[in-house]
Chain A
C-alpha cells in the first residue's frame, strides 16, 4: 500500500512538473504546480511528517499559488508566449540537465548510506513546536523580522507613486 501510494504520488508530481514545462499557458502552469505541491504534501505525509504535510498544502498549494494566480490575472497576457526561436538553448539545457542528474545521483550514492530506523518518529505539532521555541528560537524570531521586511518591501515596490 505504501509503495503504491509513493509511486502514484511521485508519478503525479513529476508528471505535473513536466506538464508545466510543456504547457505554454501561465494559468495552466499554475494549476499544474498546485497539483505537484499537493502530491508533495502527500509524500510528506508518507514520510511521517503530518504537520509539514498540512503546512505544505495550506501555504504552498494555498497561499503562494493564490498569489501567483492573482499576479497572472493582473498581468493578463492574451496571447501565449511564442515558441522559442533559439533552439540551441533548449538542447544545451537538456544536455546540462542530464549531466546534473547523473552527478547528483552519483553524489547521493557515494556520500552516505542511510541508516534504517524502524521505530516511528514522534513528529506531531507538539514536539515540533517545542523544538521551534527552544532550540530554534532565534531563527524563528529572525524569520518574523524577515516576513515583516518582505511585506513592507512588496507594498512599497508595487505602490503607485503619488503625484505631488
Chain B
C-alpha cells in the first residue's frame, strides 16, 4: 500500500505548478485551466487523507468540489467569451480597463 505522504507531496507539487502557471501565463483560458489544476491538487489531498483517516466524508467533499468546478467553468468561460467579444483579445496585457 502506497503511503499517503507520497500523494500529499504530489498534491503540493501540482498545486504549486498550477499557481506558477497562473502567474506566468498571459491568456485568460490557460490561466483558467491552471485554476482547475489547483482544484485537482486539492482533490488529490482530500482523497489521500480520506483513505488514511478511514472515512468517506472526504470523497463526498471531492464530489462537491467537482460539481462546483463544473459550474465555475461554465460561468468563467462565459465571462471570457464576453471579454473576447468586447475587446477582441484574451491577453491580460490588453485588458486594462481599471488601469489609471
Contacts and interface: CB of A to CB of B under 8 A. Distances in A.
Contacts of B27: 26, 81
Interface string B31-44: 01110110010011
Given A3-B2, A20-B33, A49-B59, A13 B10 contact: yes
Given A29-B33, A75-B29, A131-B60, A17 B50 contact: no
Interface string A42-56: 011011110110011
B37 A33 contact: yes
Contacts of B29: 26, 29, 68, 71-72, 75
Interface string B1-35: 11111111110111111111101111101101110
B95 interface: no
A8 interface: no
Which of A26, A63, A94, A96 has most chain B Cβ within 10 Å? A26
Contact of A150 (B8, B18, B74, B91): B74
Interface residues of A, number: 77
B47 A150 contact: no
Given A55-B66, A100-B16, A139-B64, A77 B90 contact: yes
A162 interface: no
Contacts of B67: 143, 146-147
Nearest to A6: B2
Which of A10, A40, A75, A90 has most chain B Cβ within 10 Å? A75
A43 B43 CA distance: 11
A121 B57 CA distance: 12
Q: Is the interface of A mostly helix, strand, loop or mixed?
A: helix
A164 interface: no
Interface string B50-64: 111110110110111
Interface of B: 1-10, 12-21, 23-27, 29-30, 32-34, 36-37, 40, 43-44, 47-54, 56-57, 59-60, 62-64, 66-75, 77-82, 84, 90-91
Interface of A: 2-3, 6, 10, 13-14, 17-18, 20-21, 26, 29-30, 33, 36-37, 40, 43-44, 46-49, 51-52, 55-56, 59-60, 63-64, 67-68, 71-72, 74-75, 77, 81, 84, 89-90, 93-94, 96-97, 100-101, 104-105, 108, 114-119, 121, 123, 127-128, 131-132, 135-136, 139, 143, 146-147, 149-151, 153-155, 157-158
